[in-house]
Amino acid sequence: MKISNIQQLNRFKQLIFLVLTVAISTFSNEFFAQGEGLFKAKCAVCHQPHKNGTGPKLFEARKRWEAAGEGALIIEWVKNNAKLRASGKSARANEIFNEYKGSVMTAFTDLKDEEVISILDWVDAQPDPATAAPPTTGGAVTPGMDPEEESALSWIWIILGVMFVVIIMAVGGVRRQLNIATSDQLDVQEKLTYGEEFRAWAWKNRLYVGISTLVIVISLVVGVLQGLSRINVVENYQPSQPIAFPHSVHAGLNGIDCKYCHNSVTKSKSAGIPTVNVCMNCHKQISGEGKPYASEVQKIYAAAGWDPKNGPTGAYNNNTKPIVWNKVHVLPDHVYFNHSQHVVVGGVDCKQCHGDMTQMQEAVKVQPVSELNKIEGNIKLSKPTLTMGWCIECHGAKDVPLGNGKNAYYDEIHRRLKDNDKTLYRKYLKDGKVSVSELGGWECAKCHY
């Protein structure tokens, strides 16, 4: 009895050790990932890891504070810098404040200490792009043929087709002449026109002619219908915009999180086009004076009613003028689409549908599905973007994590399914997942009402 008890205890210890190791390793991973998320959500607007912007670069910021002998105070600084400055216990704080001409950093009192550390950990782990290998320029290399080559190819096919028809006709003509020449019944043959001869031939081979006619007619009908179904399919739609806004600079170079500007994406059905006050959070500082894009920033100032002459301390004059953008992704009125459903509940990344905006230098366009499929992590789809087929395809492919204890809503759905209809549940799980469509994602009234 005693021995078995000890054995059990040992096994228990081992188990605890195992659980703890797993927990710690996942925790630290999650911790790290949390740092990245927090950085993008809270800091990236003003800070970059390796470059001074609105605020100083954050790479090894901790080291710099430690060098100033105030390493312990950096967390306090991040959480509420004004308080720290006021307290007078930090020289470094006032130093930074003066260096950035008195522009005030937002207070993040809601951040926990370990969260601040996780941000700094993550930033310090980022390699400096300047010293790292230069990235491939000129966008991603497109595999396959380039468009010019492709169109040339179709011309070759047409020319070949025409030549083929000419050859067949020539051979047929020669054959006919030969027939006439070798025929005994000259009179009869000569009276036949081409048309009559064709009819006679068609009648003789009526089975083949009939079948092939049927095939041709059906494929024509199918082709026409398919063509019709592509009407108003708007892949590559790229309207001009009043302001030349480069996503590649904002989301790419500066690493601003999509949700910072499109902030209703997690709350509402519409992702929201950023309001001018959101632009002004940064562009109060970044006027682009002397840069080629200065005129574009001026348009924001005009919209906000901001006089940039006085610099960051300039004044609003209440003479605002809303910016009239051209909508890129336009859904018909009878379709209900909710961003927050997909982003928050479905956990779908923006790039699944909108492509990699960090590479998008010009105005936004509706990404063709071929582009979207190139993005790593995206569900690969075949139907054109923004068509119903595209939605349906994704709803069929995407799985809903049921009963993993993370969302009590789905836990309840899972419980009802497995307790009350096991066979149905097994049927769903045949492909290893419960897809959105199996939970009703293909039903009309999910999007049309």
Q: How far is the CB of 221 from another protein (least distance, A)?
A: 17
> Of the two residues 203 and 409, which places its CB atom closer to another protein in the complex?
409
CA 385, CA 202: separation in Å to the nearest integer?
A: 45
Contact residues: another protein, CB under 8 A: 231-232, 234, 237, 239, 264, 267-270, 272-278, 303-305, 320-327, 330, 332-334, 336, 338, 340-341, 344-345, 406-413, 416-417, 419-421, 424, 439-440, 443-446, 448-449
In whole angstroms, how close is the CB of 444 to another protein at the nearest point?
4
In 3D, which of 401, 402, 382 has the Cα closest to residue 392? Answer: 382
Nearer to another protein, 50 or 259 (CB): 259
Of the candidates 400, 396, 427, 395, the residue with the CA atom closest to the CA atom of residue 412: 400
Nearer to another protein, 90 or 367 (CB): 367
Smallest gap from Cβ 393 to another protein, in A, equals 19
Cα distance between residue 134 and residue 119, in whole Å:
25
Return the SS3 of 306: strand
Q: DSSP readout, 368-420?
A: -HHHHHHSTTPPP--SPTTSHHHHHHHHHH-B---SSSS-HHHHHHHHHHHHH
Shorter beta-carbon distance to another protein: residue 192 or 234 = 234
> At its nearest, how many Å lie between another protein and the CB of residue 388?
10
Minimum CB separation of residue 10 from another protein in Å reads 38
Q: Which amino acid is at 294?
A: A
Residue 391: which of 445, 320, 442, 340 has the closest Cα? 442
Closer residue to another protein, CB minimum distance, 53 or 305:
305
Residue 231's region, left for phi above 0, alpha for psi from -120 to 50, else beta, is beta
**At its nearest, how many Å lie between another protein and the CB of residue 338?**
6
Nearer to another protein, 157 or 449 (CB): 449
Q: Which residue has the tokens 């003066």?
A: 98
Least separation in angstroms between CB 362 and another protein: 17
**Closer to another protein at the Cβ: 97 or 425?**
425
Amino acid of residue 104: V
C-beta pairs of 136-144 under 8 Å, 24+ apart in sequence: 139/359, 140/359, 140/374
In a 3-state reduction of DSSP, which class is residue 187?
helix
